């Protein structure tokens, strides 16, 4: 790449300004320095450098992160309109603007005496016209020729007059004529790459690539392709910067392009339409062979390669209008990123509490603007790749990247909303900036010794060994249950060790692990690795394939959350209990379809069911109905509000040969069913295993076991024949049976008899046997 010349007969030196989005001044300055210039950050959003007409061409063609290249004609104090007029008229406008030129004037003013921008524009226009009249000897300018966009910018009473050499912003590379939802500016994408430690020989993935801006910009950087090669610039029509200079600059730029990348860059997205645009744009940019685009959700992100970089701009709700979905994506990041153990991660997001959401702090962070949206660029540096023979080179490259990322000293600074000179986005009011980039010693680069997200500590490994010992002991104790007692679904572990708050149930050749949420000192990603280790440990102890182990996180129950679908894997199988068959789903719901703590209660119902008319309230998957039918019940009525569970209950009955008109399935709210059933004494035996709480949309009022149990049982007793039995159960620990308010019932608690021996928690449920004594 080329630098300005300073030979004795060289063209006159020009003052040039590269403008930038707020927060990228140091990145632009570093680009200029690499191009051979001596940049100086003079204001937020403005970097000054010197050059010639040739450098106007070179800067426009090569700058990746700047918004525009301006030619500064003058800067002077202007605290009144007279000074503004006189000093503007004194500038040599005729050396640039020909007689036929169009020369519109725009303006801005910040913290200046001359605060009326329209008035400033008129004064500047008038002064330039007067100057050109004298220079060309004419009284009228048709302004039909090349366009020379002039800007008057006032900051603290200092006026700066510039000509825009770029025309359309430099982010318009020419390869993206089509746009998708929430596009990312090319200049910002290029800055994100330059602020990372990515190099062309390392893998790079953008898992939210959209129309492909980040991967395409990375490919252009990796192949040293000048970003402005496919577009035109305003100064191309200026006689002083003639076609020959532009063609020569383009030819030099083309000669510097490198061959294809050693490692293809990957972009993934869930939206195939966006990916089609990405492929089209990559072809237009000339880097299609360097990129691979694939339709894939973020949850499917994975790679076998080492020491790569994730650079992404995930949806954050501001543009997409889907804040809940965006928040879910951010929350999933620790679990997804922990799969890439040696990688570095770079995330641009407007989510203000991003580090809280993901549960850990970034290595570095930088305030940036995506259009007018205030964002932060979070950087998580992974372990450095160890390479033979190039340690010093790698140190220099990493130090250069971190130098650019940290030299402005703006980390975590609050941003204000005032507009500022030269910035194409709304930056804060002026702040003090260093005159040039300052190098950062290599010791300041905080690469972690191991992975960024996740990892296993010594404490975790110790806990896994404790878990193994305890689980082995329990498995040995219960090993004869399947053959001796015919019990193949039972509890193996129930938070026996407080530091390992898991519940492990065996369902024949599968394990179902429920994790109870408790505070811990692990990050979410570390906790994911902790949970995976416990899963592998349990599989090894019980000698089942790890793919037959299903893990669920059990939060505090909210409404109908317990019964909501959590997945769509359809991992179902037929489990045996008490000589009966039950469909069990281990993958898609928090619970499996068979509550094994009621194994004994179901047996009691079977013994009591012979010749009885049976009612199953809050029936769930109908296991009590199956037991009642197998015990010789004359009829069964299974009531639940969910079609999903009623269908499941009907399948369970059919599995055991119980079909026909004697077995009815009713979709209804329990209270509504009892109110609408007019036949007194219609049933001899009933089971009420009610949820603690429910606010299903199908309910007219919410259900609360403590509040509603009296009304429900008093209504139910009306439908029970004299001498009939009700089994009433709840797992609400603080439940108090209002026995004095219940009528026509003889009540006895039988919880000690119904909780199975494999349950360490003897209060897993409470159960009462109630006999109708009317």
Alpha-carbon span 717 to 773, nearest angstrom: 10
Alpha-carbon span 667 to 705, nearest angstrom: 20
- The average pLDDT across 644-673 equals 96
pLDDT value of residue 384: 87
Alpha-carbon span 262 to 300, nearest angstrom: 25
For residue range 509-546, list pLDDT tens digits in order: 999 999 988 888 999 999 999 999 999 999 999 999 99
For residue range 331-344, list pLDDT tens digits in order: 999 999 999 999 99
Q: How confident is the model at residue 389 (pLDDT cuts 50, 70, 90)?
A: low
- The average pLDDT across 168-188 equals 87
Going by their DSSP bridges, the two strands 580-585 and 572-577 should be labelled as: antiparallel
Rg (CA), the chain: 37
Handedness of CA 508, 511, 514, 519 (dihedral sign): positive
**179 vs 344, more confident:** 344
Alpha-carbon span 402 to 371, nearest angstrom: 24
For residue 37, pLDDT beyond 50: yes
Nearest to 236 by CA among 184, 167, 282, 304: 167
For residue range 300-330, list pLDDT tens digits in order: 999 999 999 999 999 876 544 468 889 999 9
Share of the chain above pLDDT 70, in %: 87
Mean pLDDT score across all residues of the chain = 89
Which two tokens mark 18? 């590269």
3-state SS assignment for residue 208: coil
End-to-end CA distance of the chain: 99
pLDDT value of residue 316: 77
- The average pLDDT across 70-82 equals 96
Of the listed ranges 144-158, 236-250, 665-679, the one predicted with least confidence: 665-679
Run of H or E residues at 675: helix 670-676
For residue 675, pLDDT beyond 60: yes
Which residues, 6+ apart, have CB-to-CB distance to 585 below 8 Å?
Answer: 570, 571, 572, 592, 593
CA atoms within 13 Å, Cβ hemisphere of 344? 30
pLDDT value of residue 421: 36
pLDDT value of residue 403: 54
Of the listed ranges 276-290, 407-421, 698-712, the one predicted with least confidence: 407-421
Which residues, 6+ apart, have CB-to-CB distance to 510 below 8 Å?
Answer: 544, 548, 549, 550, 573, 586
pLDDT value of residue 695: 81
**407 vs 704, more confident:** 704
pLDDT value of residue 323: 82
- The average pLDDT across 480-484 equals 87
CA atoms within 13 Å, Cβ hemisphere of 314? 27
- The average pLDDT across 258-277 equals 96
Alpha-carbon span 400 to 392, nearest angstrom: 12
For residue range 540-566, list pLDDT tens digits in order: 999 999 999 999 987 654 444 444 666
For residue range 719-747, list pLDDT tens digits in order: 999 999 999 999 999 999 999 999 999 99
For residue range 89-124, list pLDDT tens digits in order: 999 999 999 999 999 999 999 999 999 999 999 999
pLDDT value of residue 475: 94
For residue range 400-453, list pLDDT tens digits in order: 555 554 444 444 333 333 333 333 333 333 323 333 333 333 334 455 567 899
């Amino acid at each position: 790449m080329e630098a300005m010349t300073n030979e004795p007969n060289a063209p006159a030196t020009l003052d040039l300004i590269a403008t930038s989005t707020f927060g990228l001044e140091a990145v632009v300055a570093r680009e200029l320095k690499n191009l051979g210039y001596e940049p100086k950050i003079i204001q937020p959003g403005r970097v000054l450098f010197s050059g010639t007409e040739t450098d106007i061409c070179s800067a426009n063609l090569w700058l990746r992160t700047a918004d525009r290249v301006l030619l500064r004609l003058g800067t002077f104090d202007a605290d009144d309109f007279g000074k503004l007029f006189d000093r503007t008229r004194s500038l040599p406008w005729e050396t640039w603007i020909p007689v036929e030129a169009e020369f519109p004037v725009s303006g801005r003013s910040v913290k200046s005496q001359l605060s009326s921008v329209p008035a400033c524009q008129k004064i500047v226009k008038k002064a330039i016209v007067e100057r050109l009249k004298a220079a060309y000897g004419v009284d009228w300018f048709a302004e039909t020729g090349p366009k020379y966009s002039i800007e008057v910018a006032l900051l603290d009473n200092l006026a700066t007059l510039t000509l825009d050499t770029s025309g359309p912003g430099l982010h318009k590379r020419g390869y993206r004529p089509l746009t998708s939802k929430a596009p990312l500016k090319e200049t910002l994408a290029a800055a994100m790459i330059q602020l990372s430690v990515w190099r062309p020989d390392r893998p790079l993935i953008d898992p939210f690539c959209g129309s492909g801006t980040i991967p395409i910009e990375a490919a252009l950087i990796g192949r040293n392709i000048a970003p402005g090669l496919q577009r035109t610039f305003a100064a191309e029509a200026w006689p002083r910067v003639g076609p020959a200079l532009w063609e020569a600059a383009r030819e030099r730029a083309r000669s510097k392009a490198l061959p294809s990348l050693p490692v293809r860059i990957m972009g993934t997205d869930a939206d195939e339409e966006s990916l089609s645009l990405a492929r089209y744009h990559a072809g237009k940019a000339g880097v299609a062979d360097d990129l691979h685009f694939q339709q894939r959700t973020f949850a499917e992100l994975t790679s076998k390669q080492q020491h790569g970089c994730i650079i992404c701009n995930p949806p954050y709700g501001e543009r997409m209008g889907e804040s809940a979905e965006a928040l879910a994506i951010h929350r999933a990041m620790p679990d997804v990123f922990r799969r890439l153990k040696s990688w570095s991660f770079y995330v641009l997001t407007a989510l203000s509490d991003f580090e809280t959401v993901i549960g850990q702090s970034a290595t570095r962070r930088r305030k940036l603007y995506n259009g007018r949206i205030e964002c932060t660029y979070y950087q998580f540096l992974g372990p450095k790749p160890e390479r033979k023979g190039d340690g010093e080179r790698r140190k220099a490259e990493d130090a250069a990247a971190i130098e650019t990322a940290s030299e402005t000293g703006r980390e975590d600074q609050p941003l204000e909303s005032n507009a500022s000179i030269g910035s194409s986005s709304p930056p804060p009011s002026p702040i003090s900036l260093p005159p040039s980039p300052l190098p950062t010693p290599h010791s300041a680069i905080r690469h972690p010794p191991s992975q960024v997200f996740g990892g296993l500590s010594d404490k975790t490994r110790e806990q896994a060994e404790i878990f193994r010992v305890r689980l082995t002991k329990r498995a040995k104790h219960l090993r004869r249950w399947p053959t001796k007692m015919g019990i193949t679904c039972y509890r193996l572990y129930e938070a026996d060790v407080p530091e390992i708050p898991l519940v492990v149930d065996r369902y024949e050749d599968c394990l179902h692990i429920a994790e109870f949420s408790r505070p811990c000192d692990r990050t979410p990603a570390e906790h994911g690795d902790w949970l995976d280790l416990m899963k592998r440990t349990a599989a090894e102890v019980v000698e089942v394939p790890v793919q037959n182990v299903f893990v669920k996180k059990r939060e505090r129950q909210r409404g109908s959350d317990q019964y909501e679908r959590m997945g769509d894997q359809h991992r179902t199988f037929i489990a045996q209990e008490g000589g009966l068959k039950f469909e069990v789903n281990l993958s898609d719901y928090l619970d499996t379809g068979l509550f094994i703590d009621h194994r004994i209660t179901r047996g009691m119902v079977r013994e009591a069911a012979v010749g009885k008319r049976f009612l199953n309230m809050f029936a769930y998957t109908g296991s009590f109905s199956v037991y009642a039918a197998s015990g010789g019940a004359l009829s069964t009525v299974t009531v639940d509000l969910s079609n999903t569970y009623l269908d499941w209950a009907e399948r369970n009955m059919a599995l055991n040969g119980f079909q026909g008109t004697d077995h009815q399935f009713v979709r209804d709210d329990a209270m509504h069913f009892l109110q609408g059933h007019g036949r007194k004494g219609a049933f001899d035996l009933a089971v009420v295993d009610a949820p603690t709480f429910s606010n299903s949309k199908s309910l007219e009022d919410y259900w609360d076991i403590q509040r509603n149990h009296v009304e429900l049982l008093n209504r139910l007793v009306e439908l029970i024949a004299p001498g009939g039995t009700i089994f009433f159960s709840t797992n609400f620990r603080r439940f108090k049976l209002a026995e004095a308010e219940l009528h026509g019932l003889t009540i006895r608690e039988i919880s000690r008899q119904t909780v199975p021996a494999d349950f360490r928690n003897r209060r897993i449920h409470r159960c009462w046997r109630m006999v109708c004594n009317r």
